[in-house]
Chain A
Amino acid sequence: MNVESQDLKQNAIKDWVHLYSDGLYSWALTKVSSVEMAEDLVQETFMAAFATFDKFENKSKPKTWLFSILNHKIIDHYRKKNNAHQSLDQLTELKATQYTDSLFDKNGNWNSMEINSLWASEPHLLDDPIFNNALKLCMANLPEKWSNAIHAKYLLEKKPDEICHELELSTTNYWQILHRAKLLLKKCIENRWNP
């Protein structure tokens, strides 16, 4: 690469830092637990953008491109997080599997057919801070692998085959994880509602 295009690249990235780093940083802060980690992730995002600048072809907006790099960094961060950093609330996969199994009897039918009354206020639930807070806490309960799959699906809006590829899951495994994660969230929210 010649000097001129090197300068061009550097100036473009500098502009992006001024325009988008606050937005990226604020977003990262809502996703990870510490200021330092959020700063690191944003720095890494710009370093990655700098390194792969030639692949950015103005097909997407710079902001979109940078956010997608950052989101991948966030997922990597969660994937790398080992047991030492595991949050206290996070269930092991075995426990979570046993728990979701216990919702059904030996024939696979619900142990309790009762429909929790919380769902009756359906149209307003999404605006209810108590409901949203319950969901947030329950998301923290998900075993790591399940949480990664949920983040990839809902945050990165990945298709099932992409998620399977990136998280090294079989298709069957993916559907099981998604199914169990949703069951766990449902039950966990209900339990928090009327303990």
Chain B
Amino acid sequence: MNKIMLSCKKSTELIEQSQEKKLSFKNRVQLSLHLMACNTCKAYAQQSKTINMAIIQFLQKDKTDDKNTIKNDDLKEKIISKL
């Protein structure tokens, strides 16, 4: 039998999934009900988004930031000589 009330573990899993795909109708209802009753999971939803942004900031920082570019002319020579 499917319980209507989700556990916190399941809810946090659905929170993660909901950031990438549309949840089923049933899951959406279950999750909203759970979040109405559980402040810790409600806080988790926000924390999870903050962590997402922090990961992106960390992984993608200075990807296109020219002022952090380190010049390496030896490497250029080396690559061109191999072409």
Contact residues of A with B, CB < 8 Å?
Answer: 10, 13-14, 17-18, 21-23, 25-27, 29-30, 39, 42-43, 46-47, 50, 67, 104, 107-110, 113-115, 119, 122, 125-126, 131-132, 135-136, 139, 150-151, 154-155, 160, 175-176, 178-179, 182-183, 185-186, 189
> If A50-B83, A126-B50, A160-B20 touch, does A139 touch B7 (CB 8 Å cutoff)?
no
Question: Which chain A positions have C-beta within 8 A of B82?
Answer: 43, 47
List 26 interface pairs A-B (beta carbons < 8 Å), by A numbering. Answer: A14-B83, A21-B79, A22-B70, A22-B72, A23-B64, A23-B69, A25-B75, A30-B61, A42-B75, A43-B82, A46-B83, A104-B7, A110-B8, A110-B41, A122-B50, A125-B50, A126-B57, A132-B57, A136-B58, A154-B55, A154-B56, A155-B60, A182-B12, A182-B48, A186-B44, A186-B48
The answer to whether the Cβ of B17 comes within 8 Å of any Cβ in the partner chain is yes
Please tell me the number of chain B residues within 8 Å of chain A, measured between CB atoms. Answer: 46
CA distance A115 to B38 in the complex (A): 11
Question: Which chain A positions have C-beta within 8 A of B63?
Answer: 27, 67
User: In residues 51-83 of chain B, which contact A (Cβ within 8 Å)?
Assistant: 51-64, 66, 68-72, 75-76, 78-80, 82-83
Question: Which chain A positions have C-beta within 8 A of B79?
Answer: 17, 21, 42-43, 46
Secondary structure call for the B interface: helix
Question: Which chain B positions have C-beta within 8 A of A107?
Answer: 7
Considering only CB atoms, which chain A residue lies closest to B44 in the complex?
A186
Question: Which chain A positions have C-beta within 8 A of B78?
Answer: 39, 43
CA distance A15 to B75 in the complex (A): 14
The answer to whether the Cβ of B24 comes within 8 Å of any Cβ in the partner chain is no
B36 → A minimal CB distance (Å): 15
Question: Which chain A positions have C-beta within 8 A of B13?
Answer: 175-176, 179
> If A42-B79, A139-B58 touch, does A109 touch B70 (CB 8 Å cutoff)?
no
CA distance A155 to B64 in the complex (A): 13
Pick the residue among B12, B46, B52, B72 that contacts A119 (CB under 8 A): B46
